[in-house]
Amino acid sequence: MNSWSHGYNIEVPYTFGYYKETNPLWIKWGVFLGGKKPPFENHLRILELGCGQGFNLCIHASCFPKMEFLGIDFNPSHIAHAKELAKKAGLKNIKFEEGDFVELAKNFPKEWGQFHIVILHGIWSWISKDVREKVIKILKNAVLPGGIVYNSYNAMPGWMTGTILREILRSHYKISNLPAIQALEKGLELAQKLKEVNAMVFNIYPNLKHRIEMALKHNKNYVVHEYINETHTIFWVQEVIEEMLQAKLYYAGSANLVENFLPRLLPDPMENLVNQYSHPVFRLFLIDLMINQSFRRDLYQKGLVVPLGIEHIKEIKNIKFIKVENPPEELKFQTSAGVIQGRKEIYIPILDSLSNKPKGVEELLNLPELRKQNIGLPAVIQALTLLLSQGTISFYNEEYDAHYTFKLNKTITKLCVEGRPYNFIASPIAGIGIMMSQIEMLILDTIFEGNIRIEDLVNKVELKLKNLGRKITKDGKTIEDPEEIKKFLKQQIHEFITKKIPKLKNYKIIE
């Protein structure tokens, strides 16, 4: 183990992930749903501790040009990538610094200032108790009074089966003397063999089979970081709440937005049992048992900042939304509480109204169709939250600058042409990242170059794939015939133009 890694696996770099729940608008809504008052300044300062490759933070910096972003990570290779991407994209409102939590706890630079939002994504479960205590010291200095901390971590009881797979992979890694990726591949083979020989553990923990299957599908670098670390702690929600209190940080809500409506969305017997208890933290614990919680995205606030009722309602009514996708016909929402059936008499008027232009909550509340039914604010807020979580609507980013965001998007697609494995581009109007496959990135890059004829797109995308040394596969088989390759690409490009481009226009990614 490297002396500077604190038990964290640094053998392979972290992935280029994106997490919409760290979006400032998403966090603001989660705090509102939790009944608290978020910071309202337009010039928010946002810090990400353990920013990894910096890709997530660059997406948001491009979408919110009036906000100021700082990313810190102890891995110099991560920071080198982050700085390079920000520079190539011309992002002026973001900085990256190499920093170790242990050292920063002793001396947090005063010139970095304090922040309205601090992000801890995928940190808490993967660092030791000693290092967590150092992060608490950093938060004491870095978070402004009333500021928000986003903290995500692997949670009990749902991650219990993950500990079994982790021990298989980690123990095999330690005795194999193989590089991390090779050890991971062999470890997963071992896990599958244990399943094939009907090891009793699969009868006791049937979900273990699903966890192995998911690990096989995931990016290998991600799985290494998820499972092969010296330190890994699964938390009950009350344990993290107790640790965060040391920095005067109080639980303020969930960035898993729908979970703010629990236990109300649970089946009646579950809801009734939770409602027998008034202690707020114990209620969260019971809810986690009800839904078999495996990963929490919690929001904390420095100090108990509870708004007046009228003030709270006024601010919520001012938040605006836009429609970006067509909803499923059945209006069903998959949530941690199960499938929720939406009432068409509420959802259809909202969606129809948002199809024309961005609307605030108050405008939606005053829709004639909803007023006739006496649909109140709670029902509208719940409907908007479910539509947000489904991806049918998005927050409307009133401060967006499409030109500023475009510079990052063009940089991302161009770097994908050079082999970078990015899978998201930025939507300025929604303030979030939009998932794109590798071939879609190449198609979009070719469109950004000014090519719009299908024949030109086919030829140029084919050349880019050839330069990358990538083969085209269909149904698991490599396509070798040149005519079949062109036919396949033409089909992919036609589908991109007819289905993806309308969505990208909604997101203001292309005009």
Taking the CA atoms of the chain, what radius of gyration do you get in angstroms? 24
Can you give the pLDDT at residue 221?
Answer: 85
Query: Cα(first)–Cα(last) distance of the chain, in Å?
Result: 50
| Least confident stretch, 177-186, 334-343, 473-482 | 473-482
Overall fold of domain 20-156+234-302: Rossmann fold (3.40.50)
Can you give the pLDDT at residue 7?
Answer: 60
Q: Which residues contact 321 (CB under 8 A, 6 or more apart)?
A: 354, 358, 359, 360, 361, 364, 384, 388, 393, 394, 395, 396
| Least confident stretch, 67-81, 302-316, 486-500 | 302-316
Confidence of residue 13 (pLDDT cuts 50, 70, 90): low
- Inform me whether the pLDDT recorded for 2 exceeds 60: no
Q: What is the DSSP string of 167-196?
A: HHHHHHHHHH---HHHHHHHHHHHHHHHHH
CB count within 10 Å of CB 210 equals 10
* Residues 122-161 pLDDT 10s: 899 999 999 999 999 999 999 999 999 999 999 999 999 9
Can you give the pLDDT at residue 224?
Answer: 87
* Residues 315-329 pLDDT 10s: 999 999 999 998 888
Can you give the pLDDT at residue 19?
Answer: 96
Q: What b/e sequence results for 3-29 when a residue is b if at least 16 CB atoms lie within 10 Å of its CB, and e otherwise?
A: eebbebbbebebbbbbbbbbbbbbbbb
Decide if 337 contacts 262 (C-beta within 8 A). yes
* Residues 374-428 pLDDT 10s: 999 999 999 999 999 999 999 999 999 999 999 999 999 999 999 999 999 999 9
Sign, CA torsion 239/243/249/254? negative
Spacing of C-alpha 309 from chain mean position: 30
What is the Cα–Cα distance from 259 to 264, expressed in whole angstroms? 10
- Inform me whether the pLDDT recorded for 272 exceeds 80: yes
Q: Domain locations in the chain?
A: 20-156+234-302, 160-227, 325-391, 402-418+435-506
Can you give the pLDDT at residue 136?
Answer: 98
How much of the chain, in percent, has pLDDT values that exceed 90? Answer: 81
- Inform me whether the pLDDT recorded for 3 exceeds 70: no
Can you give the pLDDT at residue 1?
Answer: 46
* Phi, psi angles (nearest 5°) of residue 463: -65, -40
How much of the chain, in percent, has pLDDT values that exceed 70? Answer: 97
CB-neighbour burial class of residue 385 (10 A; exposed 0-12, middle 13-18, buried 19+): buried
Q: Which two tokens stand for residue 217?
A: 């599908």
Can you give the pLDDT at residue 9?
Answer: 58
